[in-house]
Every structure is written in C-alpha cells, then in structure tokens.
Amino acid sequence: MRAQETDGTEIPTAREDISSRKAREDTELSQDLRHRRPPPQGREQTIKERLGLRSLIGQSPAFLAAKDQIAQVAQYDVSVLILGETGTGKELFARAIHYLSARSQQPFIPVNCGAIPADLFENELFGHDRGAFTGAVAATVGLIREADGGTLFLDEIDALPVLAQVKLLRFLQEKEYRPLGSTKMQHVDLRVVAATNVSIEQEVKEGKFRQDLYYRLNIIPMTLPRLCERKEDIPILARHFLLKYAGEFKKTVTAFSAVAMRQLLLYAWPGNVRELEHIVQRAVVLSQQEIISEEALRLPEVSPSQCLSFKEAKASAVAQFERSYLLELLGAHQGSVTQAARTAQKHRRALWQLIYKALRVIVWVNFGHFRAPVACTSGSSTADTLRRAAHRRAVG
C-alpha cells in the first residue's frame, strides 16, 4: 500500500525508495512524450525541476537569491553570463537553466574554452568539411552543431583568443556559421550560457576581451556567492558529501565530530564547494571510525581573513592579539593577575574582564612553586599543547 498526502500526492513508503520513484516517474514522462499524450498536470515541470535543481544545495540568503534567478531566467531564451570563483558551481547553475527551459529535451554541451588551443578553437566549435586541411579525410560536425536545439555552455569564456572572440561574436549575432573548408552557411538554434571566474569587466578595460562580445553575452548576469559568504550552508553540504561518498565507498561513516565541524566552519575555502567536496571525500576514505575527526580532515593552513570584511578582519586580528598578549603577560608574572594588571597599566577587575573575553576558559596549571594560566577548549588537544608551552616557559 502507498500512503497519500491530503492533496492526493503519493509519498514513498519504506518499501519504495526515492530513487525507484524517480525512475518510475521519468519512465512515465518518456512514455507520455513518445505517444504525444499531454503529461499529467505539473508532472513534466516537477521532473524538470528535480533534474535542474537537485544538485543545488543550500539555504543561505546569498545562495537562494542566485538560485531563485534560475526559474525566472530559464523560461526566456536569452544569453546568460555566470560569474563566480572556481568551485562555486557555475556549470551546475548552467545545467539547471537548461533543464528548466523549453530546451530541456535537447543536448547540453559544455565546452571548456581554456582547454582548447587557440589554433583549434574554430575547428572544435564549427567543425570542418572533408579536405579542409591535411588529414581531414572526413567531415566533422562542431560543438555548435551538436548543441543544435539545446544549450551550449562556454566555461572560462575569458580564455578565448581575440580572433576566436570575433568569430564567436558573429555567430551569436547571426546564429549562422561556416565550417572550415565549406562554402555554405549553416544555421542552428541554440542558447548560449557563458561563465568566467575572473572580472570580465576588467578584462574588457585592459583590452583582453572584446567589449561587444561582452555586451552580447551579458544580457542576464548571474553572480554566484563564494562558500565563505554562505557559511551556514557548510554543514548541509558537508553532510551531503559525507552521505554520498560513504555510500559510494561502502563505509560506515555517519557524521563529523564537533571539533571537525568547527574547523570546517572556520576554514576560508578558497576552492569553494569543490574543495569542500574533495576534503570530505578524502576524510571519508581515511576515517577509521564512524565519526570523522579533525585529524581526518587534514585542512591546509590558509588565513581566513581573505573572506572577511575590513571590520571583521580587524576584530579577528585584535582578538588574536589580546589572546596572545594575555597568555604572555600572565605567564611572565606566574599567573598573578595583580602583577599583570600593574604591568598592563589596567585595573585588576578590567584585566579580569579582558581575560574572560579573550580566553573564555582558563585552567590554572600548577608548576611546582607557581601557577600559570592555560586557555583550552574541551574535546581538543589545545590544553596539552598550552601546558607544554607553559612548562617550557617555567623551566626556561
């Protein structure tokens, strides 16, 4: 038996998982289209939304603002320029636009412009006729012809050489092209979505990118946020990747430790979501326990200030200075707050308040004839590290 919602929508029981239901719905839709029967109301659009949006995970305002643009942009057949750093999901957004558009039944052809040599770009894009050049023993259709009716995604569009930009501009204006060695113009009907991880406006100012091509591509600009600008999505994404790779590698890894999750939240993520995915993938492989520890993450040392505003970076630097200064000061005076306050030229109560603000947790460690303050956090090795540092100071 299958349970039903009050609106009549079927929901899967324990015997029917989501993937089997998806396969059944996709099959029904294909049969509807093949027999030219109008699909049930809303069914086709629901499947399109699942195909286009299921890989876009996040709840932060910045991410949702970009995601909400997709459905609005997809229904209009205009060029889109997606802007965002490496690893922010530009191709995922491009695919979502395609699957939610009227072209969803046609091909989506991704092209990495930076990977095509300058002298081969025209051949790759437009194709050639037989005999067009030495070794051209057969005609070859280009990527534009392969994308006919669908969407052509041009990633790293800024990497195109100037000559290739001129030819691409003409194609975008006329929607026609001539394969190498051919005397006949060919017409195609497709949508172009381009993407770049650099400031394309700066490239235009420096003469590296044609201004007219920029205007042609930039009809609908879409800017994707960096991962450090959507910190609240990190636990959601990390959990998603953990379940994905735990299932793929058949490992019984179920969660992150509190310290490991804190490290994920504090890290700057210069590689954005792609870097997060790779680090979680590695942690799943290396973890020998059900809970991923901070050691399994192996996060590189990168300053988090690159994702902070000036005000936030200043506050962070001040907090680090206060913490370091107080530990040095209290250690030098063998834990005496009175003497430390005299050296710092602050009232004793004011210094206590500063100590609590900067260090939060103070452990007074006995070292023979004196005591030294140690700041620590539970569940980590910080206390042991600081105890050793205090001991070295004592014996030194």
- Mean model confidence pLDDT for the chain: 78
**Crossing angle for the helix pair 310-332 and 382-395, to the nearest 10 degrees:** 50
92-132 residue pLDDT tens: 999 999 999 999 999 999 999 989 888 788 888 888 787 66
Look at residues 301, 296, 233, 294 and name the one whose alpha carbon lies nearest to residue 259: 294
Give the confidence band of 363 by pLDDT, cuts at 50, 70, 90: very low
| pLDDT, mean of residues 72-78 | 92
- Cα dihedral: 11, 13, 14, 20 (round 10): -60
| pLDDT, mean of residues 148-177 | 91
Look at residues 56, 49, 96, 74 and name the one whose alpha carbon lies nearest to residue 230: 56
pLDDT higher than 90, residue 269: yes
Output 324 or 105, whichever has higher pLDDT. 105
pLDDT higher than 60, residue 63: yes
| pLDDT, mean of residues 53-74 | 89
Give the confidence band of 216 by pLDDT, cuts at 50, 70, 90: very high
> For residue 184, what pLDDT is reported?
84
Cα Rg of the chain (Å, integer): 29
> For residue 301, what pLDDT is reported?
67
Q: Is the pTM of this model over 0.75?
A: no
Give the confidence band of 211 by pLDDT, cuts at 50, 70, 90: very high
CA dist., res. 266 & res. 269, Å (int): 9
Give the confidence band of 396 by pLDDT, cuts at 50, 70, 90: very low
Give the confidence band of 181 by pLDDT, cuts at 50, 70, 90: confident
Distances (CA, A) of 375 to 116, 295, 322, 396: 55, 21, 13, 20
pLDDT higher than 50, residue 380: no
SS3 160: coil
Domains of the chain: 1-40 (no CATH), 58-223 (3.40.50.300), 228-305 (1.10.8.60), 308-395 (no CATH)
Express as a percent the part of the chain with pLDDT over 90. Answer: 43
pLDDT higher than 60, residue 25: no
